[in-house]
Amino acid sequence: MLFESIKMNTKYWEYPKNNLAVQIYNLSKIYNDEKQNFALENISLEIPAGSIFGLLGPNGAGKSTLINIISGVVLKTSGAVSIWGYDIDKKRKQSKLAIGVVPQELNIDAFFTPKEMLNLHSGMFSVPKSSWISDELLKLMDLTEKASTYSRKLSGGMRRRLLVAKAMVHSPPIIILDEPTAGVDVELRQKLWESFIKLNKEGVTIILTTHYLEEAEHLCDHIAIINKGKIIANEKKESLLTKFNEKIIKIKINKSDISEKDKLSLESIGKVKFSKTDIEINYKPDHVNMRSIIETLYKTKLDIKDLSTKEISLEDIFINLTRTN
């Protein structure tokens, strides 16, 4: 385990008794402009230790403000926040040291090698030289062979992994990944996913923000969705995906002309979207079974070219929740 190999200070990083990495209670942040705008309004949230926790939301929803408060960069207006059992007001130093942040920007000095960079940041965090774990982190992030290569010569994926290693030099039990795969191709994104899963298996709690809903669905075991400064969903991924009890039928037709009678027939199945020769129906399997759906379609005069069904995805849930809140 990573926590054993890096000789973590058990005085600080014993597992929280309540098994929670982060506790947030009635947290608010108000920017004191003329309108007294709430960036966050009475947010309460619990992040289990050892989890990969997805924090999702549209632009301007409050994700960055929440992360900056958790990591000690921004001061809250009211409420309580505890990081790894430490109240951020009473134990500010310990709470800040319990977190490593991987920013979206690739802020890497091009004239340092990965090992030099990790050693430098270890010193900046006052880690005794005898406790430096640069080699272990390079191995964990599959960068050992590039340890002495100038950072400017590293690929984009290697630089991303180096940022993760850089955030871990002081051995924090929690790491925040802020849009970690923004702008990378699909193949590279999947390689980064493997690195994040490996890090989590070593015992590190990961808080992930991303606009790639597929990424959150693949990696996270808990998900919270924030919109307009409020938490509108917060539960285990499996629970969230099954909660909506919906499936989707996609129909391709040869002609875009649909009679009013056929439209009413389709609407008896569920919520319908029409787009030229494409029809999409969201329906609830508990209310409508497939046999009745087929019978309804058979009675219409639609010239059906193709038909498929799919389970509702996290992206579908996200769109529905943020559109109605």
Pair 258, 227 in one domain: no
Last residue of a domain, one of 241, 275, 292: 241
In a domain, 31, yes or no: no
Please give the pLDDT value at position 43. Answer: 93
Pair 127, 235 in one domain: yes
In a domain, 45, yes or no: no
* Secondary structure, 3-state, the chain: CHHHHCCCCHHHHCCCCCCEEEEEEEEEEEECCCCCEEEEEEEEEEEECCCEEEEECCCCCCHHHHHHHHCCCCCCCEEEEEECCEECCCCHHHHHHCEEEECCCCCCCCCCCHHHHHHHHHHHCCCCHHHCCHHHHHHHCCCHHHCCCCHHHCCHHHHHHHHHHHHCCCCCCEEEEECCCCCCCHHHHHHHHHHHHHHHHCCCEEEEECCCHHHHHHHCCEEEEEECCEEEEEEEHHHHHHHCCCEEEEEEECCCCCCHHHHHHHHCCCEEEEECCEEEEEECCCCCCHHHHHHHHHHCCCCEEEEEEEECCHHHHHHHHHHHC
CATH number at residue 296: 3.30.70.980
**Is there a contact between 268 and 293 (Cβ–Cβ < 8 Å)?**
no
Last residue of a domain, one of 241, 256, 285: 241
Last residue of a domain, one of 207, 241, 275: 241
Report the number of distinct structural domains present in the chain.
2
Pair 218, 264 in one domain: no
Please give the pLDDT value at position 325. Answer: 59
Pair 255, 303 in one domain: yes
In a domain, 290, yes or no: yes
Please give the pLDDT value at position 65. Answer: 92
Pair 232, 262 in one domain: no
pTM > 0.85: yes or no: no
The one-letter code for the residue type at 124 is M
Pair 268, 222 in one domain: no
Please give the pLDDT value at position 34. Answer: 54
Q: What is the pLDDT along the chain (325 residues), one digit of tens a residue?
A: 444 444 444 344 678 888 999 999 999 998 876 556 778 999 999 999 999 999 998 888 889 999 999 998 899 999 999 999 999 999 998 899 999 998 888 778 888 999 999 999 999 888 888 889 899 889 888 899 999 998 888 888 888 889 989 999 988 999 999 988 877 788 878 888 888 898 898 889 999 998 888 899 899 999 999 998 999 999 998 888 777 777 888 999 887 778 889 889 999 998 888 888 899 888 888 888 888 998 999 888 888 889 988 877 788 788 878 876 5
Pair 304, 264 in one domain: yes
Domain of 259, in residue numbers: 244-324
Closest CA to 322 of 243, 224, 221: 224
In a domain, 77, yes or no: no
**In sequence order, what are the beta bridge partners of 252?**
278, 306
Cα–Cα distance for residue pair 273/271, rounded to 1 Å: 7
Token code pair at residue 241: 């995906």
Pair 201, 63 in one domain: yes
Pair 233, 270 in one domain: no
